[in-house]
Amino acid sequence: MGTTYSIRHFLCLQALKSLLKCIAKDWATVETKSERETMVNIARITRKIMLGCSMMCQLVVTLYVILRLLFMEYDDNKLFVRGYYPYDTTVSPNYELTLIGQAIAGTYSSIIYSSVDTFIAMLILHACGQISNLKNDLREIHSYDKVDLRTKLKKIVEKHNYINRFVLNENY
């Protein structure tokens, strides 16, 4: 079981690494100003989604902690997360330390939760931006002469195959 998990974990990391390399390559090989504009607009949208999602998750955790502390009765020793603990959580220092630990754990888990979701959103939006650039290249194909047309068409097909490999990454 341990080796299967580590092999899967390794393959997943390799796939993520190759996706990030593809994104870096796309940013490094931008050919026209309109392609760069499209990619910058997609990056702005992604940044807004990341900030919004992170802020919402943090707001939920913060409001939960505040409301829980405000509406908790004085003699009510209920924790944020109920469970079985290997120590007595009803005595004074253990209760407060467990409460603080649970608040910190809630904060970190919301950060991780929103990070994974926004990373996937970033990958999807990047692919959409690349497809949009490809669509713009196809729209302008009529302006080339016959020799340049073949070269440009070849580049478009290669770019299409590249985007397909990015989206349908076999390792992930």
DSSP label of 144: S
pLDDT confidence tier of residue 171, bands split at 50, 70 and 90: very low
The single residue listed with the structure tokens 């990958």 is 123
d(CA 160, CA 142): 18
Backbone angles phi, psi at 171, to 5 degrees: -80, -15
- Contact between 144 and 155 under an 8 Å Cβ cutoff? The reply is no
Lowest mean pLDDT among 45-49, 50-54, 71-75, 128-132: 71-75
d(CA 59, CA 112): 14
The model's pTM is: 0.77
- Contact between 120 and 49 under an 8 Å Cβ cutoff? The reply is no
